[in-house]
Structure 1
């Protein structure tokens, strides 16, 4: 395990050294303004835009690395975007609109992978979340396979499995907690709730970690044999603003997703959750989230002469 982890960290170190803030300062100086404008326009007609773009960035980075592989749409069933672990992922059209504007101004210059990373930051700002400088210089991948997404973190994963999956990407248990807090905004479908409410592995009933006062509310929204496509906020009481309320909900048994609730059932991740509510020496949740986003954005990046710069994000051309 140690040699494998060392290799992962060395690979990350080699790649991240070539990413830099202001990468397009000369070649395409308006890139941030253009992507920001497209994101704001999208958000004006869809209040879930921020959550959508944060999720897209996460799903891109956790497969082949932050290389835009999830964006490929050749029409084939084998395209990565069709993986079971990517179901419900959206935002492809927003990235494509930004890419079209950038191609008109700076042809074959800005990678789709960088647009995804930048769009996530812009989306976070719209949700009153953390601000951070986006390192850029990623190049687009030339592989997109549904099989590559087999090991995506899943809402039904145990906390040990989640920690392992994050560790394999060079991220810590603290990153797991902090990045899970992206669930502060957005919704989920009853499809992801049924087992937790009606067929929890322990006894075939409901997950005992759900606060008894919250259980009737969840069952009312997602009744047994009801419409699995009905959606509910992931962060009860604060679903439109990016803040640490999701962590308070986890502490009190009001977590909607099983993977979020699991964070309070492991000593190492529980300690991270509790640290943001300590009376003394409380860390900044906003600053930690920004740091974790930057680290996530370095996973498996292609730089220099690696990969390519696509003309269209949905195509390898």
Structure 2
């Protein structure tokens, strides 16, 4: 390799870093925030503890990604989903939409360790964003960096969870809802790909299996054989679970194959394949996993910037479950 090629390679790498980090600043946040704040080992501590939990229970990867999403779509990425209810306030985590969230103990353990190392420095909102990122990579998904410096919010109310998308929405409704947060239809389909991890409870899709609408008993967009499998699965309890795809602990593009086969578990998943505006995106991600990975990581970085609190607009909680 000659000198010119080396220099061009350096330039291209610099441009990639520039595009991703915006000179290290994104909406006031920084990639190197915790280095600047005197806590250089913050990210390593998060990753080590998250990986230890995931090695013991790989299903937590889906839980941590989902928790980050449920946090950001309500009042922005401010760790409001982590706050416990009090006698005077019912918090977000006690909403029916959040009953199945789990993994709080992972965030608690990370926070406890960071408070020993760097008291009052690392926010719960950043911990949650970093934990989700590390969970994606642990499960085989793309590696990406995120800017840090989010502050923790001081509001968590059950009524705010009305902003979370229910599993009954169709593609047009999803496009509109995500659009209100600044996402394109393509970014919405990419973020939906997080369902390549994890499971759904019967309570979230049983409406597709009987009395679906005035003309169909079973959702006609559901593969007939798969519908029988789901009905059998849900015979005993609304809490019974069904994996979103055949590789529930691996981050891959199998979720999009499931939609092509009409075996999307949630109505809101399958609708992405049945709508003309999103079908082509589903097909593209099923065909090209690298494209899905690239679009997913960019959409996740963007999601992590939703309505972040900075400076005096928020705080750094000493305990993620309690407002200071």
Alignment partner, residue 125 of structure 2:
113
1:243 deviation in Å? 0.5
Higher-helix-fraction structure = 2
Q: Secondary structure at the match of 2:242?
A: strand
Alignment partner, residue 198 of structure 2:
186
| Alpha-carbon contact 1:18-1:304 (below 8 Å) kept | no
TM-score (norm 2): 0.88
1:44 deviation in Å? 2.7
1:16 deviation in Å? 4.3
1: CA distance between counterparts of 2:317 and 2:95?
A: 22
Alignment partner, residue 279 of structure 2:
270
Could you give the per-residue CA deviations for residues 21-80 of structure 1, whole angstroms, max 9, x where no partner exists? 121013211111111111112113322110000000000000000001111114345111
What is the aligned residue count?
298
Q: Secondary structure at the match of 2:273?
A: coil
| Alpha-carbon contact 2:142-2:297 (below 8 Å) kept | yes
Structure exhibiting the larger radius of gyration computed from Cα positions: 2
1:315 aligns with 2:322: yes
1:160 deviation in Å? 1.7
User: What is the aligned counterpart of 1:128 among 121, 133, 140?
Assistant: 140
1:283 deviation in Å? 6.4
1: CA distance between counterparts of 2:239 and 2:286?
A: 34
Greater RCO structure (CA 8 Å; 6+ sep): 1
User: What is the aligned counterpart of 1:240 among 244, 249, 255?
Assistant: 249
Q: Which runs of 5+ in 2 are unaligned?
A: 1-24
User: What is the aligned counterpart of 1:24 among 30, 34, 43?
Assistant: 34
User: What is the aligned counterpart of 1:286 among 283, 289, 293?
Assistant: 293
1:204 deviation in Å? 5.2
Equivalent residues in 2 for 1:39-78, closer than 5 Å: 39-76=50-87, 78=90
1: CA distance between counterparts of 2:26 and 2:221?
A: 39
User: Over aligned residue pairs, what C-alpha RMSD do you find?
Assistant: 1.7
2: CA distance between counterparts of 1:203 and 1:242?
A: 37
Q: Which runs of 5+ in 1 are unaligned?
A: 1-14
Q: Secondary structure at the match of 2:200?
A: strand
